[in-house]
Amino acid sequence: MNCFNEKCESMSREEMRKVQSERLIKTVHRVYNNVPFYKKKMDELGVLPGDIQSVDDITKLPFTTKQDLRDNYPFGLFAAPMEDVIRIHASSGTTGKPTVVGYTKNDIDCWAETMARTFACAGGTKNDIIQVAYGYGLFTGGLGAHYGAEKLGAAVIPISGGNTKKQIMLMQDFGTTMIACTPSYILYVAETMEEMGIDPKSLKLKAGCFGAEPWTDQMRKDIEEKLGILAIDIYGLSEIMGPGVSSECPAKCGLHVNEDYYIPEVIDPESLQPLGENIQGELVFTTVTKEALPLLRYRTRDISTLHYEKCDCGRTLTRMSRVAGRSDDMLIIRGVNVFPSQIESVLLEIGDTAPHYQIIVDRVGSLDIMEVQVEMTQEMFSDQVRKLEDVEKKIKMNLESTLGISSKITLVEPKTIQRSEGKAKRVIDLRKEKR
């Protein structure tokens, strides 16, 4: 097992519960004493810090939502004085003000540790050359990966996102062995290599840490085959820390949650009751080491399941399944719940098209309609019309049997769907504009 911190990543359940309990108790006192919002919420629920004796009491604590962060914009939920805050990040909301997060020196050290674990999970060591192609700036991806790679002792190339030809040149010249970026961006990088006539397998690249957006196992296979690398899913969110909350290992059977830092729960989003192992629901995290912005039971809106048994890799850290989507990304089409990831799986399973697609939802009269635009590969583009019609039909049928609703399939010319350098925008919901 290639671990950054074997002792913490393979603790027994009892040891882990002890660490979590001690840290949770400290965190609860910290927020009750320093954050008026939490004091008020806990007082309303009739819970005092002394009522939290162990991690079992976590369900007595109040939830926190993104709206709470917005209502306390920018620094209202900070639990440390500004003189102790050394970094501020923010996630760009689609509307209005961003969500602001802050870090003390110790928070940055903890974050670096969890990201170093992430790279090690993907096989990284101090001998690696890691190209960080997540965006640097207010987004947590770039700097989060950067500090983790440095902590691991690897050589970091802080190139940030975009500038694709230069990314490829540096990969060749510097002998990059690992890359960190969104899965949609690595596909764009692979496509650009092809255009430049570069065989990806001639590079030293051996693994990539991909995340920040939902992607499927089928997309992983595609990336692994195209580039000849190990593609690892990494997860995180700025409110909790950034990347480094959890990551897959080469066993690829769920993402190991760094639960000595972030305690995971899965709840029913309607009743708010905790759900058992293997039951799908909304992921909730409580941070237990954070000083600047500790959050109790933060509702992520991400859909996943938890698994507690030891992994084949030797880690005992709880695993979360690959995120199936966000509850607020879920489309309701003619009353049926549809996740973009279901559509991605179907398209990539059929495998005749390029892995670039976009979903357009509209309302005509009172009827919802969904169109899936899928890019043709260059070879398909020169195929006979009959063959294209067959592919279109096959996609339509498979989608209908998976989703239970019909949709319009449009095959579009190669390279017409916009490529992303960061998070891909898969859905255009025109109904929103008509409301």
* Alpha carbons 127 and 220: distance in angstroms, whole number: 25
- Let me know: does 208 contact 161? Beta carbons within 8 Å: no
Shortest Å, Cβ 2 to ligand DLL: 20
- Phi-psi category of 159—alpha, beta or left, where left has phi over 0 and alpha has psi -120 to 50? alpha
According to DSSP H, which parts of 305-384 are helical? 340-350, 378-381
Q: With H, G, I as helix, E, B as strand and everything else as coil, classify residue 320.
A: strand
- Let me know: does 260 contact 244? Beta carbons within 8 Å: no
Per CB under 6 A, the list member of 148, 243, 254, 340 interacting with ligand DLL is 243
Residue carrying the six token digits 């590969």? 377
Nearer to ligand DLL, 137 or 414 (CB): 137
Per CB under 6 A, the list member of 15, 84, 150, 213 interacting with ligand DLL is 213
For the beta sheet containing 357-364, the strands, ordered from the edge strand earlier in sequence to the opposite edge, are 408-412, 367-375, 357-364, 427-429
Shortest Å, Cβ 139 to ligand DLL: 6
Number of H helices, E strands in the chain: 13, 21
Q: With H, G, I as helix, E, B as strand and everything else as coil, classify residue 264.
A: strand
* Alpha carbons 199 and 298: distance in angstroms, whole number: 44
Shortest Å, Cβ 91 to ligand DLL: 4
402 binds ligand DLL, rule: CB under 6 A: no
Nearer to ligand DLL, 60 or 326 (CB): 326
326 binds ligand DLL, rule: CB under 6 A: yes
For every residue of 180-235, which 3-state class applies, written as one string? EECHHHHHHHHHHHHHHCCCHHHCCCCEEEEECCCCCHHHHHHHHHHHCCEEEEEE
Shortest Å, Cβ 246 to ligand DLL: 8
* Alpha carbons 95 and 97: distance in angstroms, whole number: 7
376 binds ligand DLL, rule: CB under 6 A: no
* Alpha carbons 393 and 151: distance in angstroms, whole number: 51
Nearer to ligand DLL, 28 or 132 (CB): 132
* Alpha carbons 208 and 246: distance in angstroms, whole number: 15
300 binds ligand DLL, rule: CB under 6 A: yes
Tell me which stretch binds ligand DLL (CB under 6 A): 41-49, 57-65, 161-169, 228-236. Answer: 228-236
Tell me which stretch binds ligand DLL (CB under 6 A): 72-80, 170-178, 207-215, 266-274. Answer: 207-215
Shortest Å, Cβ 64 to ligand DLL: 14
Per CB under 6 A, the list member of 69, 156, 229, 237 interacting with ligand DLL is 237
**Interface pattern 131-160 for ligand DLL (x via CB under 6 A):** ---x-----xx-------------------
**Interface pattern 54-93 for ligand DLL (x via CB under 6 A):** -------------------------------------x--
Per CB under 6 A, the list member of 69, 193, 313, 323 interacting with ligand DLL is 323
Per CB under 6 A, the list member of 161, 236, 264, 294 interacting with ligand DLL is 236
- Burial annotation 34-52 (CB, 10 A radius, 16+ → b, else e): bbebbeebbeeeebebeeb
Nearer to ligand DLL, 236 or 355 (CB): 236
242 binds ligand DLL, rule: CB under 6 A: yes
Q: Site for ligand DLL (CB under 6 A): how many residues?
A: 20
Contact set with ligand DLL (CB under 6 A): 91, 134, 140-141, 211-214, 233-238, 242-243, 300, 302, 323, 326
